Amino acid sequence: MKQTISFITLGVHDLARSRAFYRALGWQESAGSQEAVAFYQAGSVAFALFGREALAEDAGVPHEGSGFPAFTLAHNVASEAAVDATLAEAVAAGARLVRRGERAPWGGYRGYFADPDGFLWEICFNPFFEMDEMGAVRLP
């Protein structure tokens, strides 16, 4: 298996609400979106929103359950000020602020918000990793 991630798909409770939230963040849906699924180009990764029950059915697993999903999504930015500005933008779009921007123990600066379904997004400035012109992190 190649070391790559092609898609990240979130199973959401209310697809229309999630579409509106990401639209309020300035994200543009792909022309390939359909009524039951929204697609977004997110750098080199494709990001999708799909109904939670339909996604569970597609995978053949139960859709019940709640709590910490044991993962976060991350969006790296070029400065500490950009972390704070991005968190404010997300809150204005309807996100819940989980952790305000602050220095991280490892030397960067980060904060967290939760989208309408509670998926956690880390907004991060990491001075140790370069970002290319498209905003993709380039690991050393």
Residues 87 and 33 in one domain: no
The pLDDT assigned to 66 comes to 65
Tens digits of per-residue pLDDT, 45-68?
889 999 989 888 877 777 777 666
Q: Do residues 45 and 79 share a domain?
A: no
pLDDT of residue 67: 63
Q: Using one digit for the tens of pLDDT, what is the confidence trace for 79-119?
A: 999 999 999 999 999 999 999 999 998 899 999 999 999 89
Task: Residue 20: give the domain boundaries.
Answer: 1-63
Task: Report the pLDDT value the prediction gives residue 14, as an integer from 0 to 100.
Answer: 96
Banded model confidence at residue 75, pLDDT cuts 50, 70, 90: very high
Q: Kindly state the average pLDDT of the residues 70-85.
A: 91
Reported pTM: 0.82
Are both 87 and 44 inside the same structural domain? no
Is the pLDDT at 31 greater than 90? The verdict is yes
Residue 126 Cα distances to 108, 122, 132, angstroms: 5, 12, 13
Looking at the structure, tell me whether residues 59 and 103 fall in a common domain: no
Q: In DSSP terms, which residues pair with 124 in a beta bridge?
A: 76, 110
Angle at 65 (CA atoms; ends 121, 74), nearest 5 degrees: 10
Would you state the pLDDT for residue 140? 67
Both 2 and 58 in one domain: the answer is yes
Q: Tell me how many domains the chain contains.
A: 2
DSSP, collapsed to helix, strand or coil, labels residue 32 as coil
